[in-house]
Amino acid sequence: MSTIVKLPSGSWRTQVRRKGRYVSQSFARRRDAEEWALKMERRVDRGESVSKTRPDHINTVADLVDLHIADMLEVGKLVRRSKAYSLEKLRDDVGHLRIEQIDREAIIQFARDRRSEGAGPVTISMDISYLKTIMLHAAAVHGVHIPVEQVDLARAALSRLGLVGKGKERDRRPTQDELDRLIAYFESNSRQISPMHRIVKFAVATAMRQSEICSIEWPDVDERRRTVTVRDRKDPRNKLGNDQRVPLVDLTGYDAWALLLEQRAARPTKGRIFPYDGRSIGAAFRRACQQLGIEDLHFHDLRHEGTSRLFEAGLQIEQVALVTGHKDWKMLKRYTHLSPDSIVRMANDRKRG
């Protein structure tokens, strides 16, 4: 039940005692006090929190997204690119849903819609995980009553339907013929703004990710040591400040240092070495593969190829990690798909040595 008392100051104090719960608040107008008391009673009946820290404006999924981002920024935590994209999709696709409408059916429909847009099981699984993250955040930090169990039920159903799941490790390696054709295609394409022929070679030479190639800068090049520092390199255990000095070597069939000098001669600059948008690089690579009839080859496979070639050159796993940036050496095992020819070549080299 609720009790509303007028205070000597002229304001109205409301006290709500219901099912062993107690909460109070003061208002300037009696009408506001009555409305608040009714709201608190309803929350208690639904089993929701009546904490004063619970924001009253949190009503929809979009509100949950905004609340989560705001809280992260408040404590100095940046929302990284993949998470930001998933949160934006949640806001766009199901942001209109009220919190009480977040049920198993709505989540399954969201996953079906994402699948129809071309999203794979891993991407959809990440979207669902971030949905649960923002729900748990609102419940734990702000006392918002959230039907989190509905996400778990939906995930179980989606797993059975094959709409969510773990990613399959790719072992696609481009042949030398495919690389030669791609490089020749880009060299002959006068309309191509970015030096894709050089970027493809550099990707294999350094085993760098697409985003890393487009972010390294000239001031971070050490000409004496022939290294370049990659800033904030991807690391699941350390999101920021993971700077790594990477050797620019000639062990993969392409000389990383020579390619860097070529780029400097072609486009001297004080900023980024390859000042292009990573998404544009990926799009150009996909178009080229389509034009040349090269199937199931992604730009990221060039990193795989470069890493495998480093092993084929005879480097040990800890040496390869210095180039690729892998913190967990176990992750490098999937890249050790050595070709039979490379093993024969290594054996002959040892005999001659």
pTM of the predicted model as reported, rounded to 2 decimal places: 0.60
- Measured in degrees and rounded to the nearest 5, phi and psi for residue 135 equal -70, -45
pLDDT digits (tens, 9 = 90+) for 14-64: 878 777 666 777 888 888 888 878 877 876 776 655 555 556 678 899 999
pLDDT digits (tens, 9 = 90+) for 223-275: 999 999 999 887 655 555 688 999 999 999 999 999 999 999 988 778 999 99
Nearest C-alpha neighbor of 324 from the set 239, 209, 231, 220: 209
> According to the model, what pLDDT value does residue 105 have?
95
> According to the model, what pLDDT value does residue 191 have?
84
Within 8 A by CB and 6+ apart from 150, the residues are 102, 103, 104, 107
- Model confidence at 153, pLDDT cuts 50, 70, 90, reads very high
Nearest C-alpha neighbor of 92 from the set 65, 116, 56: 65
Q: What mean pLDDT value characterizes the chain?
A: 85
Q: Is the pLDDT of residue 211 over 60?
A: yes
Within 8 A by CB and 6+ apart from 209, the residues are 234, 300, 303
pLDDT digits (tens, 9 = 90+) for 115-143: 998 888 988 999 999 999 999 998 888 87
Give the percent of the chain with pLDDT over 90.
47
- Measured in degrees and rounded to the nearest 5, phi and psi for residue 165 equal 170, 175
Give the active site residues: 209, 239, 300, 303, 326, 335
Q: Largest alpha-carbon pair distance within the chain?
A: 101
Cross-strand pairs, 222 = 227
Q: How many Cβ atoms from other residues are within 10 Å of residue 22's Cβ? A: 11
- Homologous superfamily in CATH for domain 176-352: Intergrase catalytic core (1.10.443.10)
What ranges in the chain are assigned the alpha helix state H?
Answer: 30-45, 61-74, 81-94, 104-116, 121-142, 149-161, 176-188, 196-206, 210-213, 256-266, 278-292, 300-312, 317-324, 340-352
Segment 158-185 shows an average pLDDT of 89
**Cα 210 to Cα 225: distance, rounded to the nearest angstrom:** 24
Distance of CA 47 to the CA centre of its chain: 35
Mapping DSSP to helix (H, G, I), strand (E, B) and coil, where does residue 6 land? Answer: strand
- Model confidence at 144, pLDDT cuts 50, 70, 90, reads confident
> According to the model, what pLDDT value does residue 292 have?
96
- Pull the structure tokens for residue 330: 């176990």
Segment 85-112 shows an average pLDDT of 93
More confident residue, 333 or 173: 173
